[in-house]
Amino acid sequence: MRLLRRAVDSLSIPLIAIVLGLAASGVFVIIAGAQPIDTYQRLFCEGFGPNPCATFGDLLFTQVETESGVLQTVFSPTYGAGGSRIALVLEQATPLILTALSAAVAFQAGMFSIGMDGQFLMGAITVAFLGYWLPDQIYLLAGVTDPETAPQALLTIMHLIIPAICIAAAMLAGAIYSWIPGYIKIKLNVNELISTIIFNAIAVQLVGWLINFPLRSDLNNIARTRRIDDTAWLVPFNRGIFQDVEWFSGARLGVGFLIALVAALLVWYYLKRTTAGYEQRMTRGSSLFARFGGIPTGRAALRAMIISGALSGLAGAIAILGVERRVIDGFQASGTGFDGVLVAILSKESIIGILLFAPFFAGLNLGATNLQFGNLPRQLGGIIISFIVLFSAMEDFIRARLISLWKRRTLLQRTAPVDKPDGNAV
């Protein structure tokens, strides 16, 4: 019961924010010359819906034609034929979950680091390089000239260890890239918000240069790195173990998603149940209190920055190893890290909230991308998301004005009959 109340309490603000965000973006939908309700139905259908999907109702239950030509009602989220978008949403949500966790860990040490984008890119470029370079070295050592002819045993062993090494390297790269702003904050009191923004910009330029020059693989119009070796690839379910399951067919959802779920669990455990997590949360709550109690606050904050960076680096690794398999020019501007920051803010850094809102964000982005094939601008998704985050940042306003207004009304209604006899007695 208490758990339920707490869940309702922590979810009410984001849900109200979503409703207000959609209402406010309605203005822009009208300016773009469309019907808000209509547009939102299409947006959500494109984002989360099955095929066919036309109304909000279809998001839950839809009618499909079976092979024999009979109409049949199905539960949309589990309906996979023609590509249920849920698998795709989860694929897109995977790096978002990790960058949101990354932001949450930093925030929960009182470090307002928004360097997830930079750390994500450093992780991505690290595995994009190691993903082909490392197998190359092993083939060279083993004397294999053509991977096609390599012994199966060698390939199996490589397939087990190379992704792990790549992931570890990406986490290290992200961690270092986050440690630097953390260190100069602790030692020199350089504002971490500003330094991480600058570090993001540096990472974008650095990766741009790397893929255009040293790591450019071919003379393709758009610069790109070499595709990673098959042994480094985190094979998606639809190409691997769940080849025949229709539900997975439309997406490159894979092991990476499971890694993200495990990471979420570990982060929760770290924050709530370890002394290190306790130290960083107390540092955030009141750094004076933490210092007063003898907690080494600088060390706690720095440790949080390192863990945060490692999580973003992991996000970058999974995006490349599981989905993209190479870095293509333009990947730097994906904004996955920053979306993660927004998810963390919207979910108020709660781990369950992150697991709920990361797919929500991913679906909205997906819906907006597909909407542009209609007559609506793709930026609509961005506008909606921005409004939602804006309203959720207005938590105090929502709490003080809307919720208390509602509570006061119900309170008055409840107490009114009690007050009356009192008044008569006087």
Partner 1 sequence: MTNALEMRHIRKYFPSSGVLACDDVNLAVQKGEVHAIVGENGAGKTTLMSILYGLVTPDEGEILVNGTPVRIGHPHDAIQQGIGMVHQHFKLVPSFTIAENIMLGLEPNRVGFIDGATEAENVRQLAESFGLPVDPNARVKDISVGIQQRVEILKILQRNAQILILDEPTAVLTPQEVSELLTVVRSLAQAGRTILFITHKLAEVKAVADNVSIMRRGKSVGTYATHGVSIRETANLMVGRVVTLQVEKTAAKPGAVVLSADHLLVAGTGGIPAVFGASLEVRSGEILGIAGVSGNGQTELVEALVGLRPVDQGTITFLGQDITHNTVRERRGAGVAHIPEDRMIMGLNLKTNLDENVVVTSYQHEPYSKRGFLQLEPIRQLARDIVEKFSVRSARVGEEIRTLSGGNLQKIVLGRELKGDPKLIIANQPTRGLDVGSIEFVHKTLIEERDKGAAVLLVSVELDEILALSDRIAVMFAGKIVAVLDVKDVTEEKLGLLMAGSSLEHAESAAEKAHL
Chain contacts with partner 1 (rule: CB under 8 A): 272-276, 278, 281-282, 285-286, 288-296, 404, 407-408, 411
Q: How far is the CB of 291 from partner 1 (least distance, A)?
A: 6
Reference 166, options 340, 334, 330, 319; nearest CA is 319
Q: How far is the CB of 294 from partner 1 (least distance, A)?
A: 3
Reference 129, options 207, 66, 75, 67; nearest CA is 207
Q: How far is the CB of 399 from partner 1 (least distance, A)?
A: 8
User: How far is Cα 255 from Cα 91, in angstroms, rounded to an integer?
Assistant: 10
Q: How far is the CB of 281 from partner 1 (least distance, A)?
A: 7
Helix (H, G, I), strand (E, B) or coil at 156: helix
Q: How far is the CB of 411 from partner 1 (least distance, A)?
A: 6
Q: How far is the CB of 184 from partner 1 (least distance, A)?
A: 21
Q: How far is the CB of 221 from partner 1 (least distance, A)?
A: 52
Structure tokens at 387: 């409004």
| Nearer Cβ to partner 1 (242/268) | 268
Neighbours of 389 (CB within 10 A): 20
Q: How far is the CB of 282 from partner 1 (least distance, A)?
A: 6
Is-contact 277 147, C-beta < 8 A? no
| Nearer Cβ to partner 1 (103/300) | 300
User: In sequence order, what are the residues at sequence separation of 6 or more whose Cβ sits closer than 8 angstroms to the Cβ of residue 160?
Assistant: none
Q: How far is the CB of 346 from partner 1 (least distance, A)?
A: 20
CA distances for 170 relative to 156, 361, 381, angstroms:
22, 24, 30
| Nearer Cβ to partner 1 (143/294) | 294
| Nearer Cβ to partner 1 (189/275) | 275
| Nearer Cβ to partner 1 (273/378) | 273
User: How far is Cα 411 from Cα 5, in angstroms, rounded to an integer?
Assistant: 18
DSSP string, 304-358: HHHHHHHHHHHHHHHIIIIIISS-BTTGGG--HHHHHHHHHHHTTT-HHHHHHHH
52 prior amide bond cis, ω within 30: yes
Buried residues in 188-223 as b, exposed as e (16+ CB within 10 A): eeeebeebbbebbeebbeebbebbeeebeeeeeeeb
| Nearer Cβ to partner 1 (72/404) | 404
Q: How far is the CB of 274 from partner 1 (least distance, A)?
A: 5
| Nearer Cβ to partner 1 (232/295) | 295
User: In sequence order, what are the residues at sequence separation of 6 or more whose Cβ sits closer than 8 angstroms to the Cβ of residue 396?
Assistant: none
Is-contact 260 267, C-beta < 8 A? no
User: How far is Cα 295 from Cα 90, in angstroms, rounded to an integer?
Assistant: 39
User: How far is Cα 134 from Cα 136, in angstroms, rounded to an integer?
Assistant: 5
Neighbours of 373 (CB within 10 A): 9
Beta strands in 135-177 (DSSP E): none
Q: How far is the CB of 275 from partner 1 (least distance, A)?
A: 5
What's the burial of 310, exposed, middle or buried (CB within 10 Å: 0-12/13-18/19+)?
buried
